[in-house]
Structure 1
Amino acid sequence: MGQGSSKREIDKGMRLYSEQKPEAAINEWKSALRRMTKKEKLPVKFNTLNYLCMAYFDTGKYREVLACANQQLEMLNSKTMCNNADFMQEAYFNLARGYEKLSEFKKSISYAKSCIEREDNNENAKAIKSFATVCLAKAYHGLSDFYNAINNFDSVVNKTETSPSVHMKFLVYESLGQLFAKLRDYDTAHLYYDKCLDIVQQDAATLTKYKRRIQSQIALPMLHMGRFNDAMEYCETSMKDAMLRADRPVQARCLFTFAEIHRKRKDFERSFPRYESAYSLFVEMGDRLNQVEVLGGMAKCMAALRDFEQAIEINHKALQLAEEIGNKVGLLDCNVRLAELYVITGNTFVGHQCEDNVSRLTAELELFCGVCGESMGQIPEHLDKLPCGHLIHSKCTPHLSRYTWGRKGRKRPCPSCRNRSSGNPVLSR
């Protein structure tokens, strides 16, 4: 009787999840788990925990993702399920993506690599390995290691042995959109998000839940491109759907973008409360990377209101958080803002220290164009991604496309790679 009941609850949970009712699905799966006590049900229990990881991830309950993944590991350490390579790979993947969203990037990288290094002896294992590679790239992005992030994203899309699934392309394009938005190349970010929207339209039946996610993200590049009304419209549509579906990550993202729109319009009375609401949601979820970004917006808001003391305090809070998670771009942005604030308030000594930090972090991040030597990611501008994973200014790309004297038929090598080693990938256009 119990076995039949748990199966019905699992099936009902799957149906509810496909109907975008994750909270109801979670209740069904948790109820099914409570009925599973016999050892022969362990594989079913493991898969049910997988379903819970999936739903918890969608609703922003990242700590619960880790709790379920750790339960899976405990099961795998038992005599009944030991040495099951496929299950171990799935547990590692769940841990990797949970830690990535909680901004524990080094732990995420470790588990993602453990997942990728396992043999892919079936199609499911190959798919999980691809998902883990995307997670690995996102963790590198969180650490501001853009070179490794780009190379891992490209490795998923450019696999020669298998064609990436539509779902996989979506995840990679979404992540690349986030990466270029972080580097203030809003046009390229918009192009990647547009690709995601095209994928959703082509496969609306299975990817409909991702539409609101992309609309919430594409709004930010639109805002920086001066398309305020379009950004507001996308956010309002996404917010309504997210609230209906208990999608807290999208709700938080929309609140942040609403705050940015109001700040750009100098409507600070409406802007700051939305930053606070977004921040509270990200704190509740444990998403510290987005907390840093929201705190940056709050600091800009206070600076615009000429409350420099409060702006400095918020920036230091963001600085501490960015340092804790190892996000160097967050550290860089905080130091840029603090340098200006300290100079304005007359503390030029500390201001110069912040400027020195900016120079050091820019060098560490290699955020400078290998062609012209100028910095990247500080102002809105077009960037090009080279096949080797390095970035240069789009305006500098023609210099690599020209032949050099004595090397007819060959294009100039990537200057960053040339400086690193004798292996010189070239720009192929």
Structure 2
Amino acid sequence: MTINIIAALTFHQKIVEEDALEYSHRQLYISEELDSPSLRAESYLNLAKAHLRLGELERQVDFQQALNFARHSLYNKCELCATAGHVHLTVGSVYLELAGFNKALDSFQQAHRIALALRDTALELQVYVGLSELFSRLQDAEKSARYASKAYDLSRSLQLNDLNSRHHRAALLQMASALRKQGELGDAHDYCSEATRLALICGDQASYARSIRIMGDIYRNKSDINKAFRQYEAAMGSAAAMGDRVIQMESMDGAARCLEALRIQHKICNCRPLEFNTRLLEVAKSIGAKLLMRAVGLRLSGIYHSLGDENNKLHHEQLALKIQNDLALNCAACRSPYGLEDDSLEALSCSHILHARCAYELVRRNKKKKCPCPECDRTSSRLYLNCNDYNSMQYSPVQLSICSSDSHGTSHQATSSV
């Protein structure tokens, strides 16, 4: 259907998101006229994607609309089809932005199952990018890097047949972000530079803005605060031009971290960090980015403490603690928090997340039978993320120079069951 092609192309050619909604509604009207469940499912998927994008651009309510349209899409489509796979991927992306990590993981699991059944390489790649981002936000740098590497391997496969595709750029950026968190700053810089180059060639403004934001993170990790801040300023400008509040928010957070470093070193006073973090908190609230709201709240608490304002210090501390409790990021086994500092995580097939040490102890105690989830009591014969020995996991990034000379190679041997 021509209208379906237009609706799909809207997302890739950066036509205004309101136009995407209009085409998707037209497609839905046609599907009702034709009484076509397949076309109706695609219409609802396109509406869900449009509202996901609008939620990133403007307001949290669109995330809820995206979930509603995604559910409607599933009502009209078979369980194992490409449309259903992309619906689950979209739902996972929405829950990721709303910090619903268990629900996001469950949706990514379902999308991954469909991708494997259909041998849909592009869908599988996007699932790995989503999983990498999920574990990056939960401070598991090793798993984030592993899934980013799997996505990057797929982006270079013969099946996608386009090293300049948006999937390849997404995988490059995810590799750069994951390697940066592991401290591999040289490799991260190379991946990020390549993504920036390809984004400029293609006119991909969103990837370009994200790439210079990630480059800011890399410079910040190198303690080059001036270069980092300039990168964040450029990313904020690009994001503002597009109206992309998520990239703008992430860039503002990077700039706020730079200001915090300068404040702690007594190179600037508390005024600018206070003003900047207050604005950032408003943006994070408008999007519903709870993890960032918690982090900014703790920063503001520290600033108010330096100013001797104990009332505001306590206020922001309490808000941060409330958000932490609302997120319920507690290990299903030991009930202690996860995702607040660097750690290794695992998950059971029911999507409940545990510390890796707790998960392997659970498996060790139940060697001869299926292990029950401590959270929901559902039995599972294996860990979802990794069945191998906890101490045997290895990872090494592939160099871009090798990739360019051999675009069909594989960067590492994946050990995950996903």
- What is the TM-score when the length of structure 2 is the normalising length? 0.81
Deviations 1:224-281 (A, max 9, x none): 2221111111111111111010111211111111111222223222221211221222
Q: Which residue of 2 aligns with 1:220?
A: 177
Q: 1:330 is aligned with what amino acid?
A: L
- Mapped pair 1:182 → 2:134: no
State the Cα deviation string for residues 305-358 of structure 1 (Å, max 9, x = none). 214222222222222222222222222222222222222332233222222222
Cα distance in 2, alignment partners of residues 272 and 160 from structure 1: 40
How far off its partner does 1:169 sit? 0.9
Structure 2 SS opposite 1:198: helix
Partner in structure 1 of residue 413 of structure 2: none
Match of 1:413 in 2: 372
1:379 shift after superposition: 1.5
Q: What is the CA-CA distance between 1:411 and the residue it aligns to?
A: 5.5
Partner SS state of residue 376, structure 2: helix
Task: Encode CA deviations 1:41-78: one digit per residue, 9 max, x unaligned.
Answer: xx53x14423532432xx4x5xx244134134236537
Which consecutive unaligned segments of at least 5 residues does structure 2 have? 56-61, 388-418
- Residues 1:395 and 1:342: Cα distance change in structure 2 (over 3 Å): farther
Does structure 2 retain, via aligned residues, the 8 Å contact 1:157–1:172? Answer: yes
2:107 to 138, 144, 152: 152
Deviation for aligned residue 1:415: 2.4
Q: Contact 2:17/2:54 (CA < 8 Å) preserved in 1? A: no
Q: CA RMSD in A?
A: 2.6
Which range moved further: 292-301 or 364-373? 364-373
* 3-state SS, counterpart of residue 346 of structure 2: strand
Distance 1:94 1:207, change over 3 A: farther
Is 1:94 aligned with 2:56?
A: no
Q: TM-score normalized by structure 1? A: 0.79
1:386 deviates by: 1.9
- d(CA) in 1 for partners of 2:31, 2:71: 25
Q: Does structure 1 conserve the Cα–Cα contact (< 8 Å) formed by 2:48 and 2:90?
A: yes
Count of residue pairs the alignment pairs up: 371
Alignment correspondent of 1:196: 151
2:67 is the counterpart of 1:115: no
Note the C-alpha offset of 1:360.
1.9
Higher helix proportion: 1
Is contact 1:197-1:211 (8 Å) kept?
yes
Return the index of the structure with the highest Cα Rg. Answer: 1
Say which of 230, 239, 245 aligns to 1:282.
239
Q: Distance in 1 between matches of 2:116 and 2:218?
A: 44
Q: 1:238 to 1:280 in 2, by over 3 A?
A: same
| 1:29 paired residue number | none
Partner residue of 2:324 out of 347, 362, 366: 362
Moved more, 109-118 or 331-340: 331-340
AA in 2 matched with 1:127: A
How many Å separate the matches in 1 of 2:173 and 2:102?
26
Shift of residue 119, structure 1, vs aligned partner: 3.2
More contact order relative to length (CA 8 Å, sep ≥ 6): 2
1:132 positional shift: 1.3
Correspondence for 1:341: 303
**Structure 1 counterpart of 2:292:** 330
Give the alignment partner of residue 74 of structure 1, picking from 19, 26, 32.
Answer: 26
Identity value in percent: 24
The question of 1:294 aligning with 2:246 is answered no
1:343 and 1:87 mapped to 2: Cα distance?
57
Is the alpha carbon distance of 1:159 and 1:250 closer, same or farther for their aligned partners in structure 2, counting shifts above 3 Å? Answer: closer
Q: In structure 2, how many angstroms separate the alpha carbons of the residues matched to 1:393 and 1:232?
A: 30
Work out the CA distance in 2 between the residues paired with 1:414 and 1:327: 28
- For the pair 1:130 / 2:82, whether they are aligned, the reply is no
CA distance in 2, matches of 1:388, 1:146: 13
